[in-house]
Structures are given as C-alpha cells and as structure tokens.
Amino acid sequence: MRPLRTTSAERMRANLAGPNNTRIPRWPLAATRIYLGVVFAVAGVRQLANAAPWVKPGQTWPAAMKAKLADWSMNTPDFYQSTVAHLVKHATMLAHHVAVIHLVLGLALIAGLFTRITGALAVLLLCNYMAAAGAKPFSPAPAAAFTALALVVALGNAGLVWGLDGAIDRRWSQTVPR
C-alpha cells in the first residue's frame, strides 16, 4: 500500500536508489551548498567592507568594480560588449547591489532556503561574470567551477538536506494532502 503523503525529499531518495537498491548519501550535496553559500557570503561582506581582492589600498569597492569591468571589456565577446559598456557606466551604483546580492545568495544557500531558485540565480550571475570577462565555459577559471557547483546545487535541490527547504517540505507535506 502506497503512503498517502510523501515529501519531495522522500520521492527524491527513492529516485536516487543505486544498484541493489542502495541509497546514495545526500550530505555531499548539502556540504557543497553550504560551501558555495560561504563563498558568496564572504564575497559580499568583503565587497561591502571595501576589502575585496580587486580593491587596491585607498580604493573603494565601486571604483574597483568599475576598473575590473573596464579591464574585462577588452576580452568581452561582441554579443556582450554593449552590456559591459552599460555596466561600466553605472558601476558605482551597481557595485553595492552586487555586494548585497552576493550576501543574500550566500545566506540563502547556507540556510538552504529556496535553494533551487538561489542556485539558478547564482548560475545566472556567474555566467554573466564569465561573459563579461570573456572566459570560456570549460576554462579552468574559478567562475566556471563555481558555476558548475551552483548548477549541481540547483538541480540537486540541495536544501532538502540540512536546510530550511527540507523543513518546509516536511511541514507542507503534513498539512496538504497529496
């Protein structure tokens, strides 16, 4: 007899059964999500504190971002040149938004809240960085590696383990009949 209510975590566990019906552990996915969240949160805090790696002594984060975008524009593909030119023009305003977005994405990933959406937004953000810098998708650049990690986190729904998504899913499955 099939249970009346199953959580998406239970359905995912059933779908992840390996050979001989052995289960694949999900904690590495949660650890990847938390690591990626810490990277984003630390980047956001450092940017807000004018202590990001690109910031030279006596320089502010917005000025450093503008300089980095101008530097990247030399390698930007043709299809993205107009976007980067627009970003350079408004870099001072956008720098604060970028820092806050990094911080919010990081905190949401650490907490495991809205993980699929957060992971997808991280992929979008990192793909924009790679396009602006002219990086190739399969290059050894850190942005490419973080993009792959964010994609795994988003597709794997990593918030179900050690995250608020799992708690919400368990709570929701108790209150809504399926």
C-alpha dist (Å) from residue 91 to 42, 61, 68, 97, 131: 20, 10, 10, 10, 16
Span 31-44, mean pLDDT?
97
Averaged pLDDT of the chain:
87
What is the tens place of the pLDDT at every residue in 111-134?
999 999 999 999 999 999 999 999
Q: Given this model, what pLDDT does residue 9 score?
A: 60
Q: Given this model, what pLDDT does residue 137 score?
A: 75
In this prediction, residue 33 has a pLDDT band, given cuts at 50, 70 and 90, of: very high
The whole-angstrom separation of Cα 16 and Cα 172 is 22
In this prediction, residue 70 has a pLDDT band, given cuts at 50, 70 and 90, of: very high
Give one DSSP letter per residue of 130-171, joined into a string: HHHHT--TTSS-HHHHHHHHHHHHHHHTGGGSSSHHHHHHHH
Q: Given this model, what pLDDT does residue 135 score?
A: 87
The whole-angstrom separation of Cα 124 and Cα 138 is 16
Q: What are phi and psi of 5, to 5 degrees?
A: -120, 125
Q: Does 13 score more than 60 pLDDT? A: no
Name the residue among 152, 116, 170 with its Cα closest to residue 8.
170
